[in-house]
Amino acid sequence: MRFGRSFAVVLAAIGALAASVTPAFASSQPASGSFSESPETIISERQAGGNTIIHLTRDAAISGTYTGVGHADQWIVIHSDGSFNFHQTIAFSGTVCGEAVELEFQVQGQGDFATNALHGTYSIIGPIPVGQGNGQIESEPGVGGTYEG
């Protein structure tokens, strides 16, 4: 379960980073890069209706358009068939286009442990004056992946 839980958080962090657009950055500038995940810390785990529901946190090292660290607070639901859904909030601290920033992202997606793949979307949810941004992430659970937006 550790491998599956950790992947979603890292992916979310990367995706969240890619979504950010601040007034100092052109809204049409594309974002892309990669991320790697740190081991997760499980806050809680329970069973419900054949599903495993896990609340965890973890960090992701992000590079590319966004350079820094994202700290994810994530919920993942693992279904009995090996598929999963997740949602998380990521607090990012680092640089974007050479500017120091702190951003908050919302990431959600799904995946399957049988194919060892995760797909998700992200949106910037703060701070309010930052603006809007969104994008996609692709990842290998527990390892890392790529983002673009």
Could you give all domains of the chain from N- to C-terminal order, each with its CATH number?
2-148 (2.40.350.10)
Positions in the chain whose pLDDT score sits under 50: 1-26
pLDDT of residue 133: 77
pLDDT of residue 62: 92
Tokens 């920033």 identify what position?
A: 101
Torsion of CA 17, 23, 29, 30, to 10 degrees: 10
pLDDT of residue 146: 93
pLDDT of residue 22: 42
- Residue burial 117-140, b: 16+ Cβ < 10 Å; e: rest: ebebbbbbbeeeebeebbbbbbbb
pLDDT of residue 131: 56
